[in-house]
């Protein structure tokens, strides 16, 4: 273990080995990385309770902090915090276009990645917990997909939990991937139209960019192909607090005058590349729809299929008339695996995962109805990424869960809200409010 300091905190690197397949504990093993964070001066306090933070995703490494800003500063006032890179992410054993060929071809890669969902993540957490806490239960803070993992945790290993705090991540217990996206596209439409009401000049800016891309297919730095569909996916920015402002500033600087006429500017293309590339989180794309799968049917590119039910998202139709160009949100499509250099080598693997039908169910509604773990969830009103109605239905299923429904924040409230969101959730699980 390596220990070092940042302002106000002491950090310790931890590495753990866990089974790739928890059903075969003596089989192949992979490595997990976790960063312990404790307030300076408290590192020698033996009875500090543990809190483990599960990042959103799937397939996203835990955020790298400098010191202890926002919720982390609040947490280290009373917890020893573990920032865990879930399997396949960050400094844990990586899974990407460079490493997955070590497994073999697409079929072997898909079989390997079938062990990277919430069920395996929670079993990883249980092994790590017993090693760090000596068996004492710990508190889980789950952001977005981390909340999906926390809900699975309550379903399968509640004995390991002192409390559960969820921010923007209560999943539906029953909805299929099709149903998730059928609820999502109307939310995307509302968010985009609200953005255009705030920034009316962006209606023409977005149409102009899309029309240019129809006539002039464009390569981004690093080889990413910018298509109209890829441009539309920038609507995902509207799910975070300042995302609408980011989108507006991006659109207003899109064009530059050149000897060949008006072209998309280098700053615009570089910024778009940063938003669209999956190089740092390929599992987000490869595994995204599998987080909604439970073996009833293949996900079969649900977001792409369901999009056809909402023809107003068709860019060609919008450009042929005078309708505003609708943008999309947290959706993954087959074209991602033909336009992004980080995903192109994983196209066949993704196809096999989309066709898979033997995913195990992730949630046990009966066990959740008998829950005794203090649990609280921040539910963001009209969250772009997680359907509010689905979240509230789940909240009613989990015995004793207390909700804080708010429109003060978007999906990133736990980061944007400083200490306030964590303060509120802790007060709820402790019965202080």
Q: Are 415 and 73 in contact (CB under 8 A)?
A: no
The rounded percent of the chain whose pLDDT value lies above 70 is 100
pLDDT at 43 (0 to 100): 83
Residue 117 near residue 124, CB atoms below 8 Å? no
Tens-place pLDDT, residues 102-125 = 999 999 999 999 999 999 999 999
DSSP 94: B
Name the 3-class secondary structure at 274: helix
Q: What is the mean pLDDT of residues 339-367?
A: 97
pLDDT of res. 379: 98
Query: Nearest-CA neighbor of 108 among 213, 28, 228, 210?
Result: 28
Helices 201-215 and 243-252 sit at what angle, rounded to 10 degrees? 60
Could you confirm whether 47 is annotated as catalytic?
no
Q: Considering Cα of 222, then 225, then 231, then 235, what sign does the dihedral take? A: negative
User: Which tens digit of pLDDT belongs to each residue from 212-239?
Assistant: 999 998 999 999 999 999 999 999 999 9
Exactly one of 115, 336, 411, 412 is catalytic; which is it?
A: 411
- pLDDT tens-place string over residues 178-188: 999 999 999 99
Rg from Cα positions in the chain: 22
CA atoms within 13 A on the CB side of 248: 13
Would you call the peptide bond into 58 cis, given omega within 30 degrees of 0 as the criterion? yes
Q: Which of 256-260, 334-338, 415-419 has the highest mean pLDDT?
A: 334-338
CA pair distance 83, 65, nearest whole angstrom: 10
Distance CA 352, CA 427 (A): 45
Using the predicted structure, report yes or no on whether residue 353 has a pLDDT greater than 90.
yes
Distances (CA, A) of 136 to 27, 49, 314: 27, 9, 53
Of the candidates 66, 119, 55, 65, the residue with the CA atom closest to the CA atom of residue 92: 55
Write out pLDDT tens, residues 390-421.
Answer: 999 999 999 999 999 999 999 999 999 989 99
Here the tokens at position 165 are 């705090």
121-154 per-position pLDDT tens digit: 999 999 999 999 999 999 999 999 999 999 999 9
pLDDT at 218: 93
Contacts of 366 by beta carbon, 8 Å cutoff, 6+ apart: none
Quick check: 5 pLDDT over 90? yes
Q: What is the DSSP letter of 88?
A: B
User: Residues 148, 169: contact at Cβ < 8 Å?
Assistant: yes
Instruction: Please confirm, yes or no, whether 144 is among the known catalytic residues.
Output: yes
pLDDT for res 28:
97
pLDDT at 44 over 90: no
Catalytic residue among 96, 119, 144, 290: 144
Cβ-based neighbours of 95, under 8 Å, separated by 6 or more: 87, 88, 112, 113, 116, 282, 283
Q: What is the pTM of this model?
A: 0.96
Residue 188 has what pLDDT?
98
Give the DSSP letter of residue 93.
S
Q: Measuring CA to CA, how many Å separate 281 from each of 300, 312, 323, 343? A: 21, 30, 34, 10
Please report the pLDDT score of residue 260 as a whole number.
87
pLDDT surpassing 90 at residue 367 = yes
Q: Is the dihedral of CA 341, 345, 346, 351 positive or negative?
A: positive
pLDDT tens-digit map of 8-36: 999 999 999 999 999 999 999 999 999 99
Domain 2-173+363-429 has CATH 3.30.565.10: no
Active site residue 358: yes
Please state, rounded to an integer, the average pLDDT across all residues of the chain.
96
Q: Return the minimum-mean-pLDDT range out of 165-169, 193-197, 260-264.
A: 260-264
Where are the CATH 3.40.50.1820 domain residues in the chain? 2-173+363-429
Distance CA(82)–CA(63), nearest Å, equals 12
295 has a pLDDT exceeding 90? no
Backbone angles phi, psi at 322, to 5 degrees: -120, 20
Task: List the one residue out of 403, 393, 404 whose CA is nearest residue 369.
Answer: 393
The confidence score (pLDDT) of residue 282 equals 98
Question: Using one digit for the tens of pLDDT, what is the confidence trace for 50-79?
Answer: 999 999 999 999 999 999 998 999 999 999
């Amino acid at each position: 273990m390596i220990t070092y300091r940042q302002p106000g905190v002491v950090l310790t690197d931890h590495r753990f080995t866990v089974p790739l397949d928890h059903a075969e504990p003596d089989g192949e093993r992979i490595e997990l990385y976790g960063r312990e964070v404790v307030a300076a001066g408290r590192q020698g306090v033996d009875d500090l309770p543990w809190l483990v933070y599960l990042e959103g995703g799937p397939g996203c490494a835990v955020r790298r902090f400098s010191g202890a800003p926002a919720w982390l500063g609040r947490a280290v006032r009373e917890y020893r915090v573990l920032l865990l890179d879930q399997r396949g992410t960050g400094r844990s054993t990586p899974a990407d276009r460079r490493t997955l060929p070590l497994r073999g071809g697409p079929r072997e890669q898909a079989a390997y990645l079938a062990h990277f969902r919430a069920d395996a993540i929670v079993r990883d957490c249980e092994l790590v917990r017993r090693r760090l806490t000596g068996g004492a239960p710990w508190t889980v803070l789950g952001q977005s997909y981390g909340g999906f993992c926390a809900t699975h945790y309550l379903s399968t290993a509640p004995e390991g939990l002192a409390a559960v705090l969820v921010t923007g991540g209560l999943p539906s217990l029953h909805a299929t991937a099709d149903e998730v996206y059928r609820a999502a596209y109307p939310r995307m439409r509302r968010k985009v139209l609200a953005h255009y009401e705030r920034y009316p000049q962006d209606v023409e800016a977005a149409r102009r960019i899309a029309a240019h891309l129809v006539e002039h297919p464009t390569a981004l730095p690093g080889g990413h192909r910018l298509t109209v569909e890829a441009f539309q996916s920038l609507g995902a920015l509207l799910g975070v607090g300042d995302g609408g402002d980011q989108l507006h500033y991006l659109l207003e600087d899109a064009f530059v005058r050149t000897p060949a006429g008006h072209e998309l500017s280098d700053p615009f293309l570089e910024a778009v590349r940063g938003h669209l590339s999956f190089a740092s989180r390929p599992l987000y794309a490869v595994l995204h729809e599998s987080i909604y799968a439970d073996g009833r049917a293949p996900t079969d590119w649900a977001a792409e299929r369901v999009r056809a039910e909402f023809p107003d998202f068709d860019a060609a139709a919008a450009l042929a008339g005078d309708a505003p160009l609708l943008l999309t949100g947290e959706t993954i499509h087959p074209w991602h695996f033909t336009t992004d250099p980080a995903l192109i080598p994983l196209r066949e693997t993704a196809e096999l995962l989309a066709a898979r039908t033997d995913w195990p169910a992730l949630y046990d509604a009966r066990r959740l109805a008998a829950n005794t773990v203090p649990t609280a969830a921040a539910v963001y009103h009209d969250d772009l990424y997680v359907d509010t109605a689905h979240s509230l239905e789940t909240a009613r299923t989990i015995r004793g869960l207390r909700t804080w429904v708010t429109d003060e924040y978007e999906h990133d409230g736990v980061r944007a809200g400083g200490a306030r969101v964590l303060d509120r959730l802790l007060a709820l699980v402790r019965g202080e409010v």
